[in-house]
Structures are given as C-alpha cells and as structure tokens.
Amino acid sequence: MEMRRFMSWTDEDFPSSVVSMALATRTDRRPSMTRTLWDSSVGKKTIMAVSGLVMLGYLVVHMLGNLKIFFGSDEFNHYAHWLRTLGEPFLHYEWALWIVRVVLVAAVVLHAVSAYQLSRRDLRARPTAYVHRKARSSYATRTMRYGGVILALFIVWHILDLTTGTVHSGGFQSGHPYQNVLDTFSTWYGNVIYIVAVLALGLHVQHGFWSAAQTLGVGSATRDRVLKTLANVLAVVLTAGFVSVPVAVMTGVVS
Amino acid sequence: MKLTLRVWRQQNAEAPGAMATYEVDGISQDMSFLEMLDTLNEELILGGDEPVAFDHDCREGICGACSLVINGDAHGPERTTTCQLHMRSFDDGDTIDIEPWRASAFPVVKDLVVDRSSFDRIIQAGGYISAPTGTAPDAHATPVPKPDADSAFEHAECIGCGACVAACPNGSAMLFTSAKVNHLNVLPQGAPERETRVLDMVATMDDEGFGGCTLTGECATACPKGIPLPSITAMNKEWLRATRKVRR
C-alpha cells in the first residue's frame, strides 16, 4: 500500500521527461572492465603500473644475468645460449626467449601509449602556467617524461647494438655476446649512451615503483616508508648492477 | 607595512589577462590577506579604478570560497586558507605575486575569480547517499568502527576549495575526488553506492578536463585541511575494486 501511494505520487508530480530520464539512466549499461580501464585516467595509470612492474621484473633478471660477465667468457656465453634452450623440450629452440620478447614489447607499447595519452591530458589540464614558478617535486618525479623518452631511445639503440648487431661498433658475432659487450664498451659513445640511460633508469624506477604501488592501491600511510625504501633499493641496485659492466670493461677488470 | 602587489587582472573569461602592479601602504601585520586586498580595493575605488575581483565568503577557513595562488603557493605560504593567512607571514617591502587557480577545468571568470562548478558536477555524479535517513537517528543505530569514523571525518574535512588542483602540475582533481569518495565509501551509509560512486565520480572528473595523477604530492602539501596523499591510493584501490564488482 505504501509503495503504491509512493508510485502514484511520483507519476503525478514529476513531468514525464524526468521519469523517462531516470529510466534511461537506469537501463544504461556500464562498459566492460577493459573499456573502463582504457577510458579512465585511473585505469590508464593502472595499465602503466602493471606494464612497468613487468618491465621492472625483467630488468632485475637481466641485471643479474649481466653480472655473469665477471665469471669469464665461457660462463657468460653459456648463459646466453641457455636462454635460447630454456624450456626445452617442451618449448622449441628460442621459443622461451621469443615469449619474453613479445611480453616485453606489449609492456613497452602499453606503457608508452598510456604515458603519451596521460601526458597529453595533463598538459591540456594546465594550459596556462603560473607567473610565479616554484619547483617543489623531486628531480626523479619531474624527469619521468624525459627519462621515459631517453629510455625508449636507448632500448632501440641497445637492441640494434647487441641483439641485431646493426649499429655494433666491432664485427658483431651472433652467439658470442661476451666479445660483443667488450666491443660496445670499448667505444666512448657506447659507454656514455649506456651509463646515461642506466642513470635515467634509476631515477625512473625510484619514482615509478612507488607510484605503481599507489596506483594499484597497495600503498598506505603505514607502508609508505617500506615502499619508498624498496623503491630506493631497487633503483640503486639496478643502477649499480648495470653500470658495473661498462665500468669493469673500461677499467680492464673484464677483458 | 608597505607592499608591492603584482595581481592578475583579466576583464572577463574571453579577454587576455596580465599582471598589474600596485603599491599598498599602511598594512597591519594583524590583517588577514583578504583584508589587505580589501584595503587595495578601497584605494582603487577611490581612485576611480575597477576593484580586484576575488572569491571570499565566511572568512573563517571553513567554506572553501577563497582561493588565490600567492607567490606560487595555493593559499600562500602557511598551511591554511587565504582568509586565515595573516600579513605577519610577510615582511615590510615584500613583493607579492597573486594569481588565480590555474586549470582548464577552472576557467577564469574575472581577475582572481575562477569557475569551480566542475567540482559541483563531480559531487553530483556520486557524492551523496541514497539511503533515506529521515530524522536524526540514534547515535548507536548504525555501528561504525572508530577507525572508519575517524577516516570518514578526516576526508569530510575537505572544503572543496580547489587548492589541490591549483597546486598540481597536471591540474588534477584526484585529491578532492578521493576525499569525497573515501568520506562516504568507508561508512555503512555509503555502502549501497560504493562501486557506482567511485566509478562515476572519477569518470566525471576525467570528463571535466582535469589531469591525471603523477603522485608529485603537491596537492597534499597545499591542502589547507590536510587531506593526506594516501587518500588517492585508497581511491585507486576503491576504483579497481569497483571495476570488478560493479553490476553491468
């Protein structure tokens, strides 16, 4: 009875346009989860966080693998060969490597496209700069965009240098990565490009890892110190680990 | 105190604006920043000039009407609203730059006044509860755990002034939206719209042309009510949960 009275009151007192608008809103279907993620700034940040963590996980393994260079050419070359036979006999030769490559390319593309679109949105949202300017955020935070571009360019050079050998300085020999690495780090520009990129990586990871935690909703006031420390440790360990290789070649520790 | 003011003057939304320089004398250290601007305006009116337009209402730091970016800081050098900022925070002979909030979602109406109705539309998208509350219920009718009540209250402190957007290099409204979402989402009264609230408010925030969050933390530093940066993290968590749980 109560319900009936309420309904009739609604019908009489509201213009039909209001009622139909309410109905239209109620029948409006929400877009799928993928669509919601891609269309939202928060969703795109989630895509950036996940793809960034995938790349970060790869980099930790890559850095540890690089350190094998300190155990001599046999062990380093053998490790490189093992990467190609990984997963055999279930997987064919080099399939594991290609799976990793496909996942990484997907991560790089999603990360870069999201970053580009979010940056466009951010710049549009603040079209007029303040006359009185102050730089307050940390260096790592302010250089995320430039750092990302540096890293993207580096990845292209790095693959052309040590995977395909297209722009390699010495005679590139497939299957002899130890010698190829020595060749690259025997040139001044090889060292400069590599070290600049690795420093950019350290800064990118320092802000990026902590940011990813916030975007994924893992951070909290009590966990903040742990996450910031973890970000700093990751940044320093990755930078030191990667830089140690060109430094070792330059100083003759690895020859 | 004798001060040099550099103030953004803009006739209307379409006209180009510029910084204009004014000298004011006889300013007391006990004046609020807005009283100092009142003094300037009285002189401008006496001289036959147009007074500087700026937003203000309660002048006791609770309404969220006042704004102003003072020397590059939203609400000036102290962590409070512009109306509660006093001239003792400045020195005799200072030059002070006064600009409006800058964001494409906050278009300048005139001089230092910006249109913040985009915030209203974010609230309209979900900053409410649909539960019929009737007359004031007994305090123990709906049990709320103390930490949840504290969290809701902390977020309810947001006065919607827009300092977070003004301070953010991306003109993002994430801190405002997160304060409003978390305020209701932690309470049982807000539970029926828990998913739709966060999805709709974030979608409206995006539609209004606010930028995204890059976690620079400038918003939380500028907030006169101390809404903390982890509010954004909590909203991200709610948003991700809602994309999975919402009825489609």
Which of B17, B33, B139 lies closest to B86, judged by CA?
Answer: B33
A237 vs A2, residue with greater confidence: A237
Rounded Cα distance between B53 and B15, Å, is 15
Task: Specify the residue for token string 């509350």.
Answer: B133
Per-residue model confidence as pLDDT tens digits over A85-95: 999 999 999 99
- Residue type present at position A46: T
Domain ranges of chain B: 3-109, 116-245
Nearest CB neighbour to A221, from listed B209, B228, B235: B228
Q: Is A209 on the interface with B (CB under 8 A)?
A: no
Residues of chain B neighbouring A124 (CB-CB closer than 8 A): 104, 209, 211
Q: How many CB pairs under 8 A join A and B?
A: 137
Nearest CB neighbour to B215, from listed A123, A211, A221: A211
Which of B178, B212, B213 lies closest to B197, judged by CA?
Answer: B178
Percent of chain B with pLDDT over 90: 93
Substitution target in B8, B75, B193, B216 with the highest count of A β-carbons within 10 Å is B216
**Contact in structure between A94 and A84 (CB atoms under 8 Å):** yes
Q: Per-residue pLDDT for A21 more than 90? A: no
The whole-angstrom distance between A93's CA and the closest CA on chain B is 39
Q: Do B170 and A37 touch (CB under 8 A)?
A: no
Enclosing H/E stretch for A81: helix A73-85
CATH code of the region B3-109: 3.10.20.30
Instruction: Note which residues in 134-173 of chain B have CB less than 8 A from chain A.
Output: 168-172
Q: Do A30 and B248 touch (CB under 8 A)?
A: yes
Per-residue model confidence as pLDDT tens digits over A6-17: 444 444 444 444
Task: Specify the residue for token string 């040139």.
Answer: A187
Residues of chain A neighbouring B201 (CB-CB closer than 8 A): none
Rounded Cα distance between B63 and B245, Å, is 35
Substitution target in B236, B237, B245, B248 with the highest count of A β-carbons within 10 Å is B236
ipTM for the complex shown: 0.92
Would you tell me how many other CB atoms lie within 10 Å of the CB of residue B2?
11
Residues of chain B neighbouring A207 (CB-CB closer than 8 A): 215
Start-to-end CA distance of chain A, whole Å, equals 92
The pLDDT of residue A27 is 57
Rounded Cα distance between B51 and B49, Å, is 6
Residues of chain A neighbouring B236 (CB-CB closer than 8 A): 42, 45-46, 214-217
Q: Is A134 on the interface with B (CB under 8 A)?
A: yes
Q: Give B51's pLDDT tier (boundaries 50, 70, 90).
A: very high
The whole-angstrom distance between A111's CA and the closest CA on chain B is 14
Per-residue model confidence as pLDDT tens digits over B83-113: 999 999 999 999 999 999 999 999 999 999 9
Task: For residue B73, list its beta bridge partners.
Answer: B70
Q: Please state at what angle helix A144-162 crosses helix A177-184, rounded to 10 degrees.
A: 130
Per-residue model confidence as pLDDT tens digits over A125-154: 999 999 998 877 788 888 999 999 999 999
Whether domain A40-127+138-251 has CATH 3.90.850.10: no
Query: CA B120, B123, B129, B134: dihedral to nearest 10 degrees?
Result: -20
Instruction: Note which residues in 9-28 of chain B have CB less than 8 A from chain A.
Output: 19
Per-residue model confidence as pLDDT tens digits over A44-73: 999 999 999 999 999 999 999 999 999 999
Nearest CB neighbour to B170, from listed A36, A126, A220: A126
Percent of chain A with pLDDT over 90: 80
Mean pLDDT of A21-45: 81
Which of A46, A87, A83, A78 lies closest to A61, judged by CA?
Answer: A83
Which CATH fold topology does B116-245 show? Answer: Fumarate Reductase Iron-sulfur Protein; Chain B, domain 2 (1.10.1060)
A188: Cβ–Cβ under 8 A, 6 or more apart, which residues?
none
The pLDDT of residue A61 is 97
Enclosing H/E stretch for B5: strand B3-9
Q: Is A225 on the interface with B (CB under 8 A)?
A: no
Q: Which range among A19-23, A107-111, A123-127, A247-251 shows the weakest confidence by mean pLDDT?
A: A19-23
